[in-house]
C-alpha cells in the first residue's frame, strides 16, 4: 500500500485528484469507480477546476458509483445520484448516459443488484476505484461482518452509519435504513484503488483498518490484500501511520 500524507484537507484533495486525472490522461476511455460522502467533495471541486481550465476531458470517461440508498429517487436531494450530479457530473463534460449509480427506486433488490453487476461487467470493470472510509470501517455501504466475496447486494445499514449519515438529513428518521452497494468482491476487482481519509475522528479506524488484522469486522482492512492501493490522508487522520 502506498501512503500519501498530506498537510491538510485541501492538499489531500489535490493529491487524490492528481491520481484520478493521471488515470484519465493515460486512459481517456477509463472507468472510474466513484464515492459519495463529505471526504471526496474537495477532490470533485479540484477535478471541476482542472476541467474548466481545459486540463481534463471527461468526454470518454465512464463512472460507476459505489452505492445508493434503497427507496430514494435520483431527484431526491439526499440520493447519491443527486449528490454526484450536483457535485461533479453537472459541471464537467461527462456523458451522463455513462454515469451509473444503483437504481434506488427498484424495489426488487435481487434485480437491482443483478443489473448493476451486469453493468460493471459490460463496462469491463473498474480501472480506478475511489473510496471513503466509514467511521466503523465500512467501504461503500459494506458494513462490519459482510462476507468478502459479495458483489452488489442490498444491505441493512447499522445504527452507527444511520447516525453518522443523519447529518445530511433533517433528522435520523429520514435516513433510509437500506442501501444497494457494490460488494467487497466488486471493489477488490478494481485495478487500482485510492482511499481518502481526513480528520482526527478517522485516526483510530485508519489504524485498525490498515495496521490491524484483515477481518470482515473492519471491511476496509481487506484492502491490505489488494496489490494497488493508495491511501491518501491528511496528517490528522494518518497520525498513527508512519
User: Minimum distance between the CB of residue 27 and ligand GLP, rounded to whole angstroms?
Assistant: 24
Binding residue for ligand GLP, selected from 3, 22, 38, 147, defined by CB under 6 A = 38
Q: Answer yes or no: 204 catalytic.
A: no
- How far is Cα of residue 199 from the mean position of the Cα atoms in its chain? 17
User: Near ligand GLP by CB under 6 A, which window of 36-44, 87-95, 103-111, 205-213?
Assistant: 36-44
37 near ligand GLP, rule: CB under 6 A: yes
The answer to whether the CB of 241 falls within 8 A of the CB of 206 is yes
23 near ligand GLP, rule: CB under 6 A: no
CA distances from 56 to 22, 28, 52, 53 (A): 9, 10, 8, 8
Task: Give the active site residue among 65, 103, 136, 142.
Answer: 136
The answer to whether the CB of 38 falls within 8 A of the CB of 165 is no
Grid coordinates representing 62 are 465512464
Q: Answer yes or no: 110 catalytic.
A: no
User: Near ligand GLP by CB under 6 A, which window of 32-40, 47-55, 210-218, 233-241?
Assistant: 32-40
User: Near ligand GLP by CB under 6 A, which window of 15-23, 37-45, 144-152, 211-219?
Assistant: 37-45
Grid coordinates representing 202 are 478517522
Question: What does the alpha-carbon distance between residue 136 and residue 52 come to, in Å, rounded to a whole number?
Answer: 36
Binding-residue total with ligand GLP (CB under 6 A)? 14
Question: What does the alpha-carbon distance between residue 175 and residue 166 come to, in Å, rounded to a whole number?
Answer: 6
103 near ligand GLP, rule: CB under 6 A: no
The answer to whether the CB of 233 falls within 8 A of the CB of 12 is yes
Instruction: Return residues touching ligand GLP (CB under 6 A).
Output: 35-39, 66-67, 132-134, 140-141, 161, 165
Q: Active-site residue numbers?
A: 67, 136, 138, 143
Amino acid at each position: 500500500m502506498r501512503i500519501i500524507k498530506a498537510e491538510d484537507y485541501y492538499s489531500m484533495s489535490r493529491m487524490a485528484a492528481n491520481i484520478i486525472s493521471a488515470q484519465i490522461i493515460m486512459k481517456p476511455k477509463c472507468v472510474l469507480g466513484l464515492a459519495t460522502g463529505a471526504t471526496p467533495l474537495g477532490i470533485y471541486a479540484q477535478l471541476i477546476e482542472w476541467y474548466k481550465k481545459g486540463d481534463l476531458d471527461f468526454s470518454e470517461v465512464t463512472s460507476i458509483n459505489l452505492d445508493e440508498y434503497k427507496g430514494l429517487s435520483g431527484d431526491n436531494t439526499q440520493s447519491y445520484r443527486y449528490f454526484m450530479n450536483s457535485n461533479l457530473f453537472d459541471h464537467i463534460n461527462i456523458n451522463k448516459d455513462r454515469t451509473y449509480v444503483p437504481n434506488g427506486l427498484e424495489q426488487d433488490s435481487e434485480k437491482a443488484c443483478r443489473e448493476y453487476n451486469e453493468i460493471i461487467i459490460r463496462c469491463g470493470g473498474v480501472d480506478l476505484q475511489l473510496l471513503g472510509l466509514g467511521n466503523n470501517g465500512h467501504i461503500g455501504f459494506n458494513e462490519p461482518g459482510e462476507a468478502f466475496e459479495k458483489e452488489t447486494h442490498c444491505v441493512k445499514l447499522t445504527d452507527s452509519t444511520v447516525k453518522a449519515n443523519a447529518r445530511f438529513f433533517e433528522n435520523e428518521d429520514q435516513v433510509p435504513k437500506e442501501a444497494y452497494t457494490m460488494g467487497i468482491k466488486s471493489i477488490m476487482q478494481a485495478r487500482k484503488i485510492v482511499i481518502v481519509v481526513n480528520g482526527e475522528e478517522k485516526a483510530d479506524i485508519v489504524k485498525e483498518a490498515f495496521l490491524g488484522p484483515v477481518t470482515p469486522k473492519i471491511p476496509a482492512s481487506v484492502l491490505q490484500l489488494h496489490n494497488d492501493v493508495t491511501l491518501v490522508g491528511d496528517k490528522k487522520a494518518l497520525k498513527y501511520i508512519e
